[in-house]
Structure 1
Amino acid sequence: MYSLSQLEKQQVGLRLPRYLIEQLDELASSHSLNRTDLIFEAIRSYLEKQKEERFYEEFAQGVSELKQIQKGGKAGMPLSELIDEL
C-alpha cells in the first residue's frame, strides 16, 4: 500500500507526437476519461506488467538453479541440507 505522501500528485511535462495525442483524445473521449486519467492508467498498467514479468523471470531463474542443485548439489551438499541451510 502507498502512503498519503506517495499518493500526492505531481505535475510532469510530456511531449508526444501529434498523432498519439489525437489517438489519446479519441480513446479518452470514448471512455469518458481525460488525458491525465488515460495516461495514468497506461503507465500504471505498463509498470505492473513489467514488475510481473521481472517476477516470473526471477522465478524461472530460481527454478533453474534448484534443478541444477538437484542434479549435483551445491559442492556435494544434498538438496535437503541446502534447504535446511536456507
Structure 2
Amino acid sequence: MHSPSELQKQQVGLRLPKYLVEQIDELTKEYSLNRTDIIIESIKSYIDRQETQKLYDEFDTACKDLKEVLADPKKADKLQTLDELLDEL
C-alpha cells in the first residue's frame, strides 16, 4: 500500500505519437475515463509485467545454477539444507 503522500499526483509533460493519443481517446469514450486514468493504468500494468518477468528470469537463472551444481558431485556434496543455511544467517 502506498502512503497518502505517495498517492499525490504530480504533473508531468508527455509527448506521445498521434496514433497513441487517438487510441487513448477512443478508450476514454468507450470506458468513460479520462486520459490520465488510462495512462496511469497502462503504466502500472507495464511495470507489473516487467516486475513479473524479472522474477521469472531470476527463478530461471537460479534453476540453471542449481542444475549445474547438482550435475557436479563435488559441488553437490557441499549443499546444505535450508535449515542449515538459515542457521548460518
TM-score w.r.t. length of structure 2: 0.81
The count of corresponding residues between Structure 1 and Structure 2 is 85
How many Å apart are 1:70 and its aligned residue? 1.0
Gaps of 5+ in 1: none
Tell me if 1:78 matches 2:73. Answer: no
Tell me if 1:6 matches 2:6. Answer: yes
Paired position in structure 1 for 2:61: 61
Identity %: 45
- Of residues 32-41 and 2-11 in structure 1, the stretch that sits farther from structure 2 once superposed is 2-11
Gaps of 5+ in 2: none
Q: CA RMSD in A?
A: 2.0
DSSP-derived class of the 2:80 partner: helix
Q: Is the 8 A contact 1:24 1:35 kept in 2?
A: yes
DSSP-derived class of the 1:36 partner: helix
